[in-house]
Amino acid sequence: MKLENKKIVLTGASGGIGSEIAIKLAKAGADVALLDRDKDALESLAKRISVQGGNVLPIATDLLNSEAREHAIDKALRSFGQIDVLINAAGLMSYRPFVEEDPALLERIIQLNTIVPMLLIHRLLPGMQAQGQGKIVNIGSTFGSIAFAWFSAYSASKFALRGFSESLRRETSGTGVSVTYIAPRAVKTRLNTEAVYEMAQATGMHMDTPEWVAGKVIQSIEKDKKDVYLGFPESLFVRINAVFPRLVDLALRKQNQTMAVFAKGEKA
């Protein structure tokens, strides 16, 4: 898909990955509706892109609020006339023992990471099908294929998003609308807590830059890829886990013990 003049809705636009995606989309000549809850960060990003000649529409909204979410989509449609691409990049993560999770946070993680993308797609898909073309891009995670201990809620939300993406891709086959699921490994963004960074250093976890990930997202859209797993050897482990999950249990046992120290806040 050529991005020039495409009308795009991007959620999580002021986040680490989202902001880099927005910048690259604008440079490619796309018109981008930037959706995010952080109004100040959103306006700052929009000014940065506009100065460089990009065309963006910042829309501050709480995606967990159904009325606000609907208003945001209506505004994007009024401004652009149609939506060619929806990129679901907004997300929440939690790193702690499941029994210690705040129930309210559990609900927000599932809502934002899984339900909101589904609802946005449900809203925009009919228009894409009516115009005979469109693309859905769901930003998942390696954690959506390999369920890591201490990230239970996050892993569950991304597993669900991956399954939904696969089902929807099969359902929209032949309609002109395609679905791309992109699974980065760990990324250096403010979504991570200090404990996550300390754990990553202790376990030797690979972490990519948002700019690199955003580049792969753009590449995946342009090449109309279906499933993209970023980073090696994580992309290989995804395949192994799909066939031999109990073997991965054994391989992760020692790492899980190290991760537990930081998840429980027990480090000296």
Residue 81 dihedral angles phi and psi, to the nearest 5°: 85, -35
Identify whether 154 is a catalytic site residue: yes
Distance CA(188)–CA(35), nearest Å, equals 21
**pLDDT tens track for 216-227:** 999 999 999 999
Do 258 and 203 touch, CB atoms closer than 8 A? yes
Tokens of 117: 């993308």
Percent of residues in the chain assigned helix, strand, coil, to nearest 5: 55, 15, 30
* Catalytic, out of 154, 181, 197, 229: 154
CA nearest neighbour of 116 among 101, 138, 84, 94: 138
Residue 76 — pLDDT band, cuts 50, 70, 90? very high
pLDDT at 200: 93
- Does the pLDDT at position 35 exceed 50? yes
194-219 mean pLDDT: 95
pLDDT at 267: 58
Q: Which amino acid is at 18?
A: G
Specify the pTM: 0.95
Q: Residue 135's beta-bridge partner residues? A: 85, 178
146-151 mean pLDDT: 95
182-192 mean pLDDT: 94
Exposed/middle/buried for 223, CB within 10 Å: 0-12, 13-18, 19+? exposed
- Does the pLDDT at position 268 exceed 70? no
Chain-centroid distance, C-alpha 181 = 9
Q: Which amino acid is at 263?
A: A
Which uninterrupted H or E stretch holds 134? strand 134-139
- DSSP code of 172? T
**pLDDT tens track for 36-73:** 999 999 999 999 999 999 999 999 999 999 999 999 99
pLDDT at 148: 93
Tokens of 128: 């894409």
**pLDDT tens track for 253-265:** 999 999 999 998 8
Beta-sheet pairing, 85-88 with 134-139? parallel
**pLDDT tens track for 116-139:** 999 999 999 999 999 999 999 999
Between CA 144 and CA 142, with CA 90 as vertex, the angle to 5 degrees is 20
Tokens of 246: 């109990």
CA nearest neighbour of 76 among 171, 7, 155: 7
Do 258 and 147 touch, CB atoms closer than 8 A? no
pLDDT at 266: 66
> 17 to each of 107, 188, 239, how far by Cα in Å?
23, 9, 25
Do 176 and 132 touch, CB atoms closer than 8 A? yes
